[in-house]
Structure 1
Amino acid sequence: MPISKTNQLPSTRRRAVQFGLSALMATGLLGLSPLAGNSQTPEAVAPPPPVIVPTPQSTTSLGAPVVLGSQVSLVVSPDTDPAAQALAQKILQARGVQVTINSPAAPGNGSKLRLGSGSRADITPAVGNSVPGKAEGYALLVTDTDVVIGGSDGAGQYYGVQTLKQLLAGEGAQTAVAKLAITDSPSMPIRGAIEGFYGAPWSQQDRLDQLAFYGDVKMNTYIYAPKDDPYHRSQWRDPYPAAKLAELKALVDASTANHVRFTFALSPGESVCFSSQADRNAAIAKMQAMYDVGVRAFSIPLDDISYTKWNCSADQTAYGAPGSGNAGKAQVDFLNYLNSSFIKTKSGIFPLQMVPTEYSDVRPTAYKQQFKTLQPDIVIMWTGTDVVPPKISNSDAAAAAAVWGRKVFLWDNYPVNDFGQTTGRLLMGAYAKREAGLSTSLQGIVSNPMNQASASKPAVIGVAGFAWNDGAYDAASTWRWALAYLAQGSANQGNPALAAALTTFADLNYAAPTFGNTFWLPQAPALKQLSDAFNAAPQTASLAAIKDYADSMVTGAPLIRNQLADRIFVQDASAWLDAEPLWGRALQKAAAAVEAARAGEQNSATALVQQSQAAVDQARAVKITDKKNTWSEKATPAPKLGDGVLDTLISTLNNIVTKTSNFALNSPEVKVSGVEPGTSFTGPKAVDGDSSTRWASNYADNAWIQVKLTQSARLDSVQINWESACASAYKVQTSPDGVNWTDYPVDKPVCGVQTVAVSASQPIGFIKIQGIKRATSWGYSIFEIAAYGKAA
């Protein structure tokens, strides 16, 4: 699926992309207060605390940072969580700090890190009653003599150390820690990701990297549900081969080391006979095999199946004719049996999860009515008010809880890119448009990431931040932090140049489409702001910021390739990194052409336009060949970067130099064959100059749109910015009078921006885009149509 209030500083103060305090240390602005055994002189004024993601529930600054020095005593006891202890040693040793392990009875000398239960005798006096009385909570206190982390449980200790990692700066004897008091616990009990997309499943390397990443950002759940694993879905009855089972056990072990629940999903809906005891036994046998390798969380997804037919005649006998209500009854019986006969018989196991067939709305139906008899401890997953919802509000979640009879668990289909509208896209925008307060209505959230695992991290970090503390979540600052997190590498050190390169790259990959041919996140918002500022005064506006952005595109891609420690990301984004510097060069040349024209150097300006157009052609020739996605298994689409913003800006700049105008812009008359039923995607929206609005046609191959030009012109080209619902065959037509037409067939239609050359030999008054064959089951959808040329 799919295919088918805190003491933290305000968000305006929390926007640095540096981690910890390393930037302040580098500039000498950081005053250091020593821990015991060190001799630095403290400064009186404390700097603001560093950005921490996820945002803690309460953060109080206690003064200037303190020096840990080159030796730290890690004070532990039998109640210390092993994963937390291992992580504490790792993060300190990575900074060149020598760590000795001591007990509370003999804590050692010098700087101390006390780590354990919040009720431990040497921890309670420091943190008092600040350790939250809920799962996964912790209190962290930095004093002049100790760093103290007390957890409500092992996971809380582990998350306290993850927070400490973000407070550290410097190396060796200069290793310092921000002087803070933090009390923290998650707002939602379930936070994580589900590998639930269609297309090539993640590799074992991908999954191991993801599990470590989830631990970093305090996510506690990974659901194993790859649609293309046959033993998960189509061959669900068959046991896993020994080699594959060993791989799964390695994932379970890695999950445990990172305080992540490995949740095994079994998806039998395509072939199960719900009333069959043999099939019920087969499901239990499969779950038992996973239990034996350490799995303690299970899910039964029944998504993307039909309930208009039974898979066996026995279900017809048991439940009656196939249909919504009877399907619900059969599923509830099956789930209740598995819950009673397996889940409730095991120790240390989490509640059973399930995905209903009607997973994406809040309408009361005969199917949902049957779930009133589902055992109350079974957790129901829900994708929002649509398969890919543009937003999720508190009222939406409350309606879902009402219709299902319990708080639901959100399966959020972002940043998944396995459906047609995402063809050629990486979805790297901020996690947004989820309303603060959802923690009161949801049991938790899991993100469904992309087939490109590491490229999903910026969006998934947003999910982690929101699920941990939705009341204090800031989408923009968390997004910037996520890109800096990618840039820091295994040494946990800031890399501002690399973070800037990733920020430009992610801006060009910001757009997020819904399942219904609209975008809930806009494309390239930073570049769009620069473009809008230029278009407001194209004859006089400065090009400096646009040139800086273009330079970042040209230099950023090789920087990412050469310096990014996350090599999986580089592999994921390879085609997009190939295209980015070519598009950047096109933008560089177009901006330089305008500056040359302004200086009266027309020959130079014309040459620069030609170079810009050549770079555009090179960029459009880049193809995605990795076959990871459903849309690249049998095709090689072009990677989309800033489409509708970047390419439009380049055309605008070049057209200023060539003195061509867009004679379709704000046309006085637009005629169409029809509009998509139930929408307001009318014809004039294709010529309003806004690449976020569009015309959507009626559902017909021969649908068309006709535009009257603002004045008679000698046209050179017509440019169409197609939405994903594009044409596999179409033609452009021109006419002097709207009666007699000249055809310009398009040999190789593309989804995205396509420029079609037309003759400038005679004045043109009208253009038409005539569909021949749709590429999707939808109608045609066009963001913008431009007709470039000179006045007749």
Structure 2
Amino acid sequence: MAQSLPVATLPQVMPQPIAMRLTAGLLPIGPKATIVMQRDSDPEMLRLVREGLAAIGVTDIRIAHRRPSTARETLIVLGMASDTTVAQALAQAGGTPVTDHEGYALASAASGGAALIVLAGADADGLYYGAQTFRQIATRGTMPALTIADHPRMAVRGTIEGFYGAPWSSADRLAHVDFLGSLKANTYVYSPKDDPYARDRWRDPYPAERLAELKTLIEEARRRHVRFTYAISPGPSICYSAPADVAALRRKIDAFHALGVRSFYIAFDDINYTKWNCPGDEAAFGAPDKAAAGRAQAALTNDTMGWLTARDPQAGLMIVPTEYYDAAESPYKAALRAVDPRVFVQWTGTDVVPPAIAIRDAKAAAKAFGRKTLLWDNYPVNDYPESTGRLLMAPYAGRAGGLSDELNGILANPMNQEAPSRVAVTGSAAFAWNDRDYDPESSRLFAARALAGQKAEVTTALMLLFDLEHLAPTFGAQAWQVQAPLLKQRLDLVRDTLANGTPAERGAVLRDLATQADRIAAAPGIIRAGVSDAGFLAQSAPWLDAMALWGQALQASTAGLTAALAADPAAAQHFADAAALTTKAEAIHTISGTTRPQGAIRVGDGVLDLFIRQAPTLVFQPQANTAPVSPQG
């Protein structure tokens, strides 16, 4: 009787694959493995596979270009699904090929007392994504027998560095494209509003040293299977009808094409589109109004697309229109429908920062713009007044499953703080890959584990920070995701128990609150000791400082409530200590020059600060020296 394999559990893969199932238990993995692959295989894909093998205990790896006739050790077969060797191995392992663009199949099974693992890509991108999935699974230290058939539901997935304020550093961008590649995101748009050579001085060439920096980023993005997309914003000053300006636009695109860029972007957002920048535009497009602006922008876009694809059929173009923030019919949008259908047109949803996007909204946008749109999602960007002092770390949510039928993709606009942005971007990338099976909380927990290096205590500390930075504002007074929902639930229970509970219940709820206060106060230290990402620690530093003080203030408030219940006069001092700590916490500001707008750091505001202010009123405290004095006769 054959011995059964050890029991396996279904691994978590982010993004969630379209189809994944266990077929048996854990596979036997020894210290030796052979990788069978083509001679011209992608080095980055091979690096990921090696990392995965190391994680499951393989220390001796041999590379072969033909499958051995017998295998007594772990065998990994990599390549295109169309390759005969790969197709045969995939069938043997119980998998089925995937033909969708960027798709892959992964299958693993026991074979002759050893493990057979097959990665079959529909194309080179798909094979790379399969390797990312293998590496994620192997992080657990074991390899189950399973099959995965996977492909993205949206064509464009990634981010647009499109915020106001200090642009990211070169180190930030290099880290970010690596992060995008790990999540099977395929697009990074370079469009910082404060890059003068992309907006105010768009006609001027980049200095050689800046171009060299961007070349390094472009090459790194290519290795990570991420399309670097160069965005230019000529709208504030362009003369659409001037040959000199058209030539300047082409020169700028040419400079990046020479660096290997094949994806370009013209931004018409945040401009005055009811006046011309030169008299020639009125002669060419009519009196200045919104419809005329639409005609001018469509003409420039089509001219650029035609010129670009004539010299490089593989090149692509995106635009963001001036009316990017709704799906209402308008003379401008009607004129813009003349844009070449091959061009991606971006749309931010039902508002600049929409609280939700439904399928009907995307359908209305497709009708208004004459094509499926590409969603520019202004979450988690924090460059507007309502987001002052905040990291936006709620999960990506409020977007309807099924949007993949109505959108060409999603590009999230991140924060000035690159590494903290990954919490929400993990969700947007996962949603764009597989919106129908997307779970917001799973994506946020995955992001925490990734930052924590899979360490449980550090993950828990990060999740406390994420809860205290949960509020997601809009351009109005009403937030679309509430602040600190888990802590609020706990504090509401404390209030209710103090009002309605028995003495034993009051004591128990305060002991529980003391434990939680200790965790909040300790979390920043745990994060600083356990997170290895220097960018995350530097960019979140003032929030960690403030979080520690707010945790200490909650400790003092809890001690005050406990003392007050015991009629202990020390309660007043505890509450005074809490007030002093909150004053210190509220004095911490954002790091100068790193974000716009600047302001006081907010941590759990409206929840934690409110409870600490209310705490002295929740239990009656007799005041010293207040007894009435009898009059002396």
TM range (shorter): over 0.9
Which residue among 496, 509, 516 is the counterpart of 2:456? 496
- 1:650 is displaced (CA, Å) by 1.5
Q: Which residue of 2 aligns with 1:473?
A: 438
Which residue among 41, 53, 71 is the counterpart of 2:14? 53
What TM-score does the superposition give when structure 1 sets the normalisation length?
0.74
Deviation digits for residues 152-178 of structure 1 (CA, Å, limit 9, x no counterpart) = 0011111111111121146xxxx5212
Which residue among 368, 375, 388 is the counterpart of 1:403? 368
Alpha-carbon spacing, 1:110–1:329, altered in 2? closer, same or farther (3 Å):
same
Q: Helix, strand or coil for the counterpart of 2:569?
A: helix
Q: Which residue of 2 aligns with 1:153?
A: 123
- 1:47 is displaced (CA, Å) by 3.6
On the 8 A contact 1:72/1:99 being kept in 2, the answer is yes
In 2: Cα distance, 1:627 partner to 1:105 partner: 57
Q: Which runs of 5+ in 2 are unaligned?
A: 624-633
On the 8 A contact 1:139/1:182 being kept in 2, the answer is yes
Q: Helix, strand or coil for the counterpart of 2:47?
A: helix
Indicate whether 1:518 and 2:488 are aligned.
no
Deviation digits for residues 669-710 of structure 1 (CA, Å, limit 9, x no counterpart) = xxxxxxxxxxxxxxxxxxxxxxxxxxxxxxxxxxxxxxxxxx
Q: Which residue of 2 aligns with 1:506?
A: 466
Alpha-carbon spacing, 1:104–1:544, altered in 2? closer, same or farther (3 Å):
farther
In 2: Cα distance, 1:165 partner to 1:529 partner: 37
- 1:370 is displaced (CA, Å) by 0.6
Aligned residue pair count:
607
Q: Helix, strand or coil for the counterpart of 1:193?
A: strand
Which residue among 254, 259, 265 is the counterpart of 2:231? 265
Indicate whether 1:646 and 2:608 are aligned.
yes
Which residue among 494, 513, 521 is the counterpart of 1:546? 513
In 2: Cα distance, 1:121 partner to 1:513 partner: 53
- 1:73 is displaced (CA, Å) by 1.3
Q: Which residue of 2 aligns with 1:121?
A: 84
- 1:458 is displaced (CA, Å) by 0.6
In 2: Cα distance, 1:96 partner to 1:363 partner: 58
In 1: Cα distance, 2:621 partner to 2:327 partner: 54
Q: Helix, strand or coil for the counterpart of 1:532?
A: helix
Q: Helix, strand or coil for the counterpart of 1:626?
A: coil
Q: Which amino acid in structure 2 is aligned with residue 194 of structure 1?
A: I
Q: Which residue of 1 aligns with 2:629?
A: none
List aligned pairs for 1:126-205, cutoff 5 A: 126-128=89-91, 130-144=96-110, 145-169=115-139, 175-205=141-171
Q: Which amino acid in structure 2 is aligned with residue 572 of structure 1?
A: Q
On the 8 A contact 1:592/1:608 being kept in 2, the answer is yes
In 1: Cα distance, 2:172 partner to 2:485 partner: 30
Alpha-carbon spacing, 1:249–1:528, altered in 2? closer, same or farther (3 Å):
same
Q: Which residue of 2 aligns with 1:292?
A: 258
List aligned pairs for 1:318-337, cutoff 5 A: 318-337=284-303
Higher strand share: 1
In 1: Cα distance, 2:59 partner to 2:609 partner: 50
In 2: Cα distance, 1:538 partner to 1:168 partner: 48
Q: Which amino acid in structure 1 is aligned with residue 460 of structure 2?
A: A
Q: Which residue of 2 aligns with 1:88?
A: 49
List aligned pairs for 1:434-583, cutoff 5 A: 434-488=399-453, 494-539=454-499, 540=501, 541=506, 542-583=509-550
List aligned pairs for 1:725-740, cutoff 5 A: none
- 1:252 is displaced (CA, Å) by 0.7
Q: Which residue of 2 aligns with 1:710?
A: none
In 2: Cα distance, 1:549 partner to 1:456 partner: 26
In 2: Cα distance, 1:279 partner to 1:67 partner: 64
- 1:109 is displaced (CA, Å) by 5.0
Higher helix share: 2
On the 8 A contact 1:394/1:437 being kept in 2, the answer is yes
Q: Which residue of 1 aligns with 2:213?
A: 247
Q: Which amino acid in structure 1 is aligned with residue 515 of structure 2?
A: D
In 2: Cα distance, 1:431 partner to 1:545 partner: 30
Q: Which amino acid in structure 2 is aligned with residue 159 of structure 1?
A: Y
On the 8 A contact 1:190/1:221 being kept in 2, the answer is yes
- 1:53 is displaced (CA, Å) by 0.9
- 1:200 is displaced (CA, Å) by 0.1
- 1:96 is displaced (CA, Å) by 6.2
In 2: Cα distance, 1:182 partner to 1:409 partner: 28
- 1:378 is displaced (CA, Å) by 0.9
In 2: Cα distance, 1:96 partner to 1:237 partner: 54
Which residue among 44, 64, 68 is the counterpart of 2:29? 68
Indicate whether 1:306 and 2:267 are aligned.
no
Deviation digits for residues 241-283 of structure 1 (CA, Å, limit 9, x no counterpart) = 1111111110110001100000000110011100111111111
- 1:392 is displaced (CA, Å) by 0.4
On the 8 A contact 2:30/2:58 being kept in 1, the answer is no
In 2: Cα distance, 1:313 partner to 1:123 partner: 63
Q: Helix, strand or coil for the counterpart of 1:187?
A: coil
Deviation digits for residues 414-459 of structure 1 (CA, Å, limit 9, x no counterpart) = 0000001111000011000000000000000000000000010110
Compare 649-658 and 183-192 and name the one that shifted more.
Answer: 649-658
In 1: Cα distance, 2:27 partner to 2:569 partner: 62
Q: Which residue of 2 aligns with 1:620?
A: 586
Indicate whether 1:232 and 2:198 are aligned.
yes
- 1:43 is displaced (CA, Å) by 4.7
Q: Helix, strand or coil for the counterpart of 1:308?
A: coil
- 1:118 is displaced (CA, Å) by 1.0
List aligned pairs for 1:578-727, cutoff 5 A: 578-600=545-567, 602-632=568-598, 637-657=599-619, 659=621
Q: Which amino acid in structure 2 is aligned with residue 525 of structure 1?
A: P
- 1:87 is displaced (CA, Å) by 2.0
Q: Which amino acid in structure 2 is aligned with residue 401 of structure 1?
A: A
What TM-score does the superposition give when structure 2 sets the normalisation length?
0.93
Alpha-carbon spacing, 1:441–1:468, altered in 2? closer, same or farther (3 Å):
same
Q: Which amino acid in structure 1 is aligned with residue 529 of structure 2?
A: N
In 2: Cα distance, 1:469 partner to 1:506 partner: 24
Q: Which amino acid in structure 1 is aligned with residue 131 of structure 2?
A: V
Compare 181-190 and 539-548 and name the one that shifted more.
Answer: 539-548
Q: Which runs of 5+ in 1 are unaligned?
A: 1-33, 35-40, 489-493, 661-713, 715-792
Q: Helix, strand or coil for the counterpart of 2:277?
A: coil
In 2: Cα distance, 1:179 partner to 1:550 partner: 43
Q: Which amino acid in structure 2 is aligned with residue 268 of structure 1?
A: P
Which residue among 374, 390, 408 is the counterpart of 1:425? 390
Q: Which amino acid in structure 2 is aligned with residue 627 of structure 1?
A: G
On the 8 A contact 1:194/1:449 being kept in 2, the answer is yes
In 1: Cα distance, 2:535 partner to 2:202 partner: 30
Deviation digits for residues 457-494 of structure 1 (CA, Å, limit 9, x no counterpart) = 11000001100000000111211111111111xxxxx2
On the 8 A contact 1:431/1:459 being kept in 2, the answer is yes
- 1:79 is displaced (CA, Å) by 6.0
In 2: Cα distance, 1:461 partner to 1:544 partner: 35
Indicate whether 1:99 and 2:61 are aligned.
yes
- 1:374 is displaced (CA, Å) by 1.2
- 1:659 is displaced (CA, Å) by 4.8
In 2: Cα distance, 1:610 partner to 1:596 partner: 13
In 2: Cα distance, 1:371 partner to 1:623 partner: 43
Q: Which amino acid in structure 2 is aligned with residue 452 of structure 1?
A: Q
On the 8 A contact 2:5/2:27 being kept in 1, the answer is no
Alpha-carbon spacing, 1:134–1:344, altered in 2? closer, same or farther (3 Å):
farther
Deviation digits for residues 475-533 of structure 1 (CA, Å, limit 9, x no counterpart) = 11211111111111xxxxx2000000000001000101001222001000110111222
Matched residues, percent identical?
40
Q: Which residue of 2 aligns with 1:683?
A: none
Q: Helix, strand or coil for the counterpart of 1:361?
A: coil
